Structure 1
């Protein structure tokens, strides 16, 4: 039986069912869409967090590496302070060039009156002639050596122009020739002048105006030591004069003719640091080379070749230094000793002569760096560290450097004497300890324990009455 009502109800139920299905599907689709969005958001958040952590790690690594680089770059005793890494530093250089400079191979600075060569630190690495020269200069600077060395050759009648050094005392040793020295004291009221010959020492305190005139017929050859490990700063009188405004120079000097007199001076094209005009005979008619009283001269002068000789089996040492006990010094030597000690950062000078087959035994200095120049002969130098020994040969003109506390030895390998001029970075009396002295001074039972040898074995090391600082086999 047809029942319209039922049919209507059935259709309504079907419609309700269809709507329910549609709603369910819609909710499922929305839920699915939300799940995908959630996954996307979680993945995005994870990427952001991972990226942030990665950036943080890279930053920390970069900072750490930068600090490590700076620590290496600026560590004391490694390299001098530089704002950039020079490509030369990356090159392999024989370690011996920290201690050795072949000065005869360095650049010669030529002047009309002579020449200068340098074993020194340079602010600009391009000023070094080669990597070995840079290694030596860097070593002087990083070890705070307080020493620079230059050779000065002055032709006969030539003049090292009046000048002064901003940042160093100067100590000179005359190897050859005869020179007349002038030193202008504070205020210009006292001018000390004196003559020097080969084997004698001159001394100029920092910022003291001085000149050197060759008054002999042969070249003067000086070894000059300066108490700085930075680049030497020097000012010559002619450079100062031509840099001064004309009106200022005229008002200061008040010459006859005033400013017109000043304008007649012409600056030479060539540097006049070591001066010798071609028309000198026309310029100078009446030269005199006055010697000041000893009380003045011996502040700036020391007769090293005439001083006491300290004799050893294998050689001789002479010293121009401050002596704490000056009882063995002459009155003039006491003047030099005391004057030297009154100034800061002065140097002690010495000659070291090692006979054929002689050895300056291993030793070190408590209170000074050491720099030396080979005057004659040839030899072998050894630098002893905790792991090994660096050995190298030396010949005439070579410069050596031994940092404070560094144990080193020098052996004569020629038939003739090996002769050095040495400088030490102290204005006080030099303090040195030799290998035989410190082994003799150490208790034998301490040595036995250290070296795993019976105590009686160390009785075999003899103790000599005569100092063996320079010994023979």
Structure 2
């Protein structure tokens, strides 16, 4: 019995031990499961935290990364009220695509501008603003415009407070009237395509298209501030009626003045639909040549300066007037006597021709492309290259090195204005290379002195040359 009890006790102990080991294993397994769950939860929380952190970082950094990538890009969108990018400024300091600018459409025609605006919101694009601010900051004293007048349309009598006006008639036939300063008299004359007009500051003048086709004027105004203009009808309607009646003293007095009704439409370029009922007789007189020559120049018929690669014609003042006609001398004197007038020219560059690199001592340059296409290079602090086509305006500040090359299949034809009423002073690249001592060039360019003898001298001027 004792032996049996002992065995029973042993068996119970073994069973108990086994149960304990089982419970311990179970507990260890439970602990392992809990540890695994804790690790999984922690890993999930860590992933959530990392994901949130990454998302925050992306939200914060993405605009900065994008800005860095886009910095200097010409095509990235920029608000007009903000500073335009350096690349945009580099090109559009010298170029204005005027045909893309805002078109002011009126009854009798339309106007487009390449100009400075004091309020940045008045610009139509960041490119227009870059050009406007360029001519303003350089003190260019020039603003460009196109004026299209329909047949029978009239740019009504007006004057400009702060600029002389110079124009080139590209198409059509126009009749122009000017009210001279005291002793007061009207000078009127007819202008056809290829001819030049000069309208002094504050001089009352008007233009009427008298031919069967549109008149297209390329205009240059001698200011790089905002142009200030006043039309006669605006003055009349702004004047108190009793003051107008007392001044004009018409038959019927103030009753006659009250009969004028101000139209809703802007009358700057006027073409009323009932014009035939209003006008019964029109006389487009031509004043005597001596009076007309003060304001008019037949550049189309002037001397052609021919070069291997093109032709230039001038409307300008020069000190040597020995070969000028009487009318040319009168016009040149008129330009020289007025302040802030411009020298004008037409330049035709033949196919593959180039107006070679040069600069002007005493004038800013502004031009309008009438036909063809070209490549322009400008060197100020750095080189900028761009293409020009019909309707584009270009600007080169005084002293800026530049060239124009014909890259099209037809002649490149331009009208150009230079901001001087004196003789234009220009220096071409081939002239200053040939004029500089070869030992100075050798020292400058690190080439042997005799190498510069390869640059030839020419009997004819190379202002516009060919390859």
TM-score (norm 1): 0.81
Shift in Å at residue 385 of structure 1? 3.4
Q: 2:171 aligns with which of 168, 176, 182?
A: 176
Say if 1:93 and 1:132, in contact at 8 Å, map to a contact too.
no
Tell me how far apart the structure 1 counterparts of residues 330 and 187 of structure 2 sit (CA, whole Å). Answer: 14
Q: Which residue of the partner structure matches residue 439 of structure 1?
A: 433
Q: Which residue of the partner structure matches residue 403 of structure 2?
A: 409
Q: 1:449 aligns with which of 443, 452, 457?
A: 443
Q: Which residue of the partner structure matches residue 7 of structure 1?
A: none
Q: Which residue of the partner structure matches residue 167 of structure 1?
A: 162
**CA RMSD after TM alignment:** 1.2
Q: Which residue of the partner structure matches residue 263 of structure 2?
A: 268
Q: Which residue of the partner structure matches residue 453 of structure 2?
A: 459
Q: Which runs of 4+ in 1 moved over 4 A?
A: 90-93
Tell me how far apart the structure 2 counterparts of residues 379 and 86 of structure 1 sit (CA, whole Å). Answer: 28
Shift in Å at residue 448 of structure 1? 1.2
Tell me how far apart the structure 1 counterparts of residues 214 and 273 of structure 2 sit (CA, whole Å). Answer: 17
Gaps of 5+ in 2: 1-78
Q: Which residue of the partner structure matches residue 339 of structure 2?
A: 344
Say if 2:176 and 2:205, in contact at 8 Å, map to a contact too.
yes
Q: Which residue of the partner structure matches residue 71 of structure 2?
A: none
**1:375-420: CA deviation from partner (whole Å, max 9, x where unpaired):** 000010001235x421111110000000000000000001100001
Q: Which residue of the partner structure matches residue 137 of structure 2?
A: 142
Tell me how far apart the structure 1 counterparts of residues 390 and 284 of structure 2 sit (CA, whole Å). Answer: 33
Q: Which residue of the partner structure matches residue 198 of structure 2?
A: 203
Structure 1 position 248 matched with structure 2 position 243? yes
Q: 1:228 aligns with which of 202, 211, 223?
A: 223
Tell me how far apart the structure 2 counterparts of residues 200 and 115 of structure 1 sit (CA, whole Å). Answer: 21
**1:342-381: CA deviation from partner (whole Å, max 9, x where unpaired):** 1000011100100000011000000000001000000100
Q: Which residue of the partner structure matches residue 420 of structure 1?
A: 414
**1:327-346: CA deviation from partner (whole Å, max 9, x where unpaired):** 11100000000011110000
Q: 2:349 aligns with which of 309, 333, 354?
A: 354
SS at structure 2 position matched to 1:305? helix
Shift in Å at residue 426 of structure 1? 0.4
Structure 1 position 257 matched with structure 2 position 252? yes
- 1:46-125 aligned at under 5 Å gives the runs 87-89=81-83, 91-94=85-88, 95-125=90-120
Q: Which residue of the partner structure matches residue 30 of structure 2?
A: none
Shift in Å at residue 189 of structure 1? 2.6
Gaps of 5+ in 1: 1-84
Tell me how far apart the structure 1 counterparts of residues 202 and 287 of structure 2 sit (CA, whole Å). Answer: 21
Say if 2:306 and 2:312, in contact at 8 Å, map to a contact too.
yes
Tell me how far apart the structure 1 counterparts of residues 352 and 108 of structure 2 sit (CA, whole Å). Answer: 40
Cα separation, partners in 2 of 1:424 and 1:293, compared to 1, 3 Å: same
Tell me how far apart the structure 2 counterparts of residues 196 and 382 of structure 1 sit (CA, whole Å). Answer: 34
Q: Which residue of the partner structure matches residue 40 of structure 1?
A: none
Aligned residue pairs total 388
